[in-house]
Amino acid sequence: MSLSESMVLDALGTVNDPELNQDLVSLGMVERAVVDGSQVHIKVNLTTPACPMKAEIERDVKTAVGALPGVDTIHLEFGSNVRGAEQPSIPGVKNVVAVGSGKGGVGKSTVAANIAASLALEGASVGLLDADIYGPSQAKMFSVEGKRLMADDEKNIIPLRNHGVKIISVANLVEDGQALTWRGPILHGTLTQMLQQTVWGELDYLIVDLPPGTGDVQLSLTQLANVTGAVLVTTPQEMSMVVVRRAHTMLRKTHVPVLGLIENMAWYALPGGERDYIFGEGVGSTWAEQERIPVLGQIPISRSVRESGDAGTPIVISDPDTEQAQALRSAARTLAGQISIQSLNTLPVL
Ligand SMILES: Nc1ncnc2c1ncn2[C@@H]1O[C@H](COP(=O)(O)OP(=O)(O)OP(=O)(O)O)[C@@H](O)[C@H]1O
Ligand SMILES: [Mg+2]
């Protein structure tokens, strides 16, 4: 029997996406399976360019197709097709991902900035919305401070852009140094404008950096957008965990899925290589495991994370080889995988 395309497709039908637990053909991930003599050309579209399972899928495809009689060479190409809501609540935006925690100062904004930059580095189209109306920090972290936002002919806001990410922050809407004293309705209106009257274009992921607390902004966001899920950020400190548990309860009440937990400032690396668990050890991850929440990553506390944030270039770009940058990039990939799982649960299979 000579090698045929249907044989290749049958072989691909035995390869599962390890996270999604379905085979590549049923998931509509095989764009091309062409046989040319003993050569096979395959293109697989992953559900995210940041796929944490890519190496495993590559190995399994090569094993399954390589076992077919008459196969000499496999040319395997990867693309991506991020899934999103069929009728997105924000036009063109496939996934809205909130980064929050409840507690102030645990590194939500730092994590949000690095996740956004990491996903962009993987090739995804990414937006970042700084929803911390009273204490915006992303304009500084992305070096777009002082730049004024412009509007297009239809009076929609054109987001700023840096490090491969489209970004909008309230800091760019008001005069520098001006204190904001907006109450509920104005706050809601501003958030509406930033979410829905911004020219985002096509986005795979819109990361929303939330202010601390479980207040108006969090509620407004869930009313204004169909949030794919939330990332909880915490330090391993019991005091921080109390607030995370509260945030978790709020998410449950507002039906926002929890995509995972990131334990920030998890340890300090001492010069000899030992770890000093300044804020406690693994308290967040232990809780997450009990709650069946995926632990996306543990990020050490380090001077370079703080300095890169202050300097306006997230550490995943400024110092990509450091342990802390690698931990953040890995967390972003794991998050992208969780978003794919979440989307698959809520979307009809292609
Ligand atoms: N892993 C880390 N190592 C060192 N410094 C960090 C780390 N994560 C965050 N920081 C620093 O801690 C401070 C608080 O971080 P950040 O502003 O991201 O927290 P936040 O939770 O967003 O705060 P807020 O509640 O005010 O919005 C910043 O100075 C930041 O640079
Ligand atoms: Mg913040």
Residue 349 pLDDT > 70:
no
Distance 108 CA to ligand 1 centre (A): 7
Nearest alpha-carbon partner for 123 in 164, 162, 84, 168: 164
pLDDT tens digits for range 112-125: 999 999 999 999 99
Is 105 close to ligand 1, i.e. is its CB under 6 Å away? Answer: yes
Share of the chain above pLDDT 70, in %: 95
According to DSSP, residue 322 is labeled S
Model confidence at 134, in pLDDT bands (50, 70, 90)? confident
Is 264 close to ligand 1, i.e. is its CB under 6 Å away? Answer: yes
Cα end-to-end span (Å), the chain: 31
| Cβ neighbours for 327, distance < 8 A, ≥ 6 positions apart | 297, 298, 299, 300
Distance 30 CA to ligand 1 centre (A): 41
Is 135 close to ligand 1, i.e. is its CB under 6 Å away? Answer: yes
What number does the ligand 1 atom closest to the CA of 132 have?
27
pLDDT tens digits for range 56-94: 999 999 999 999 999 999 999 999 999 988 788 999 999
Is 132 close to ligand 1, i.e. is its CB under 6 Å away? Answer: yes
- Nearest ligand, CA 263: 1
pLDDT tens digits for range 209-255: 999 987 788 888 999 999 999 999 999 998 888 899 999 998 999 99
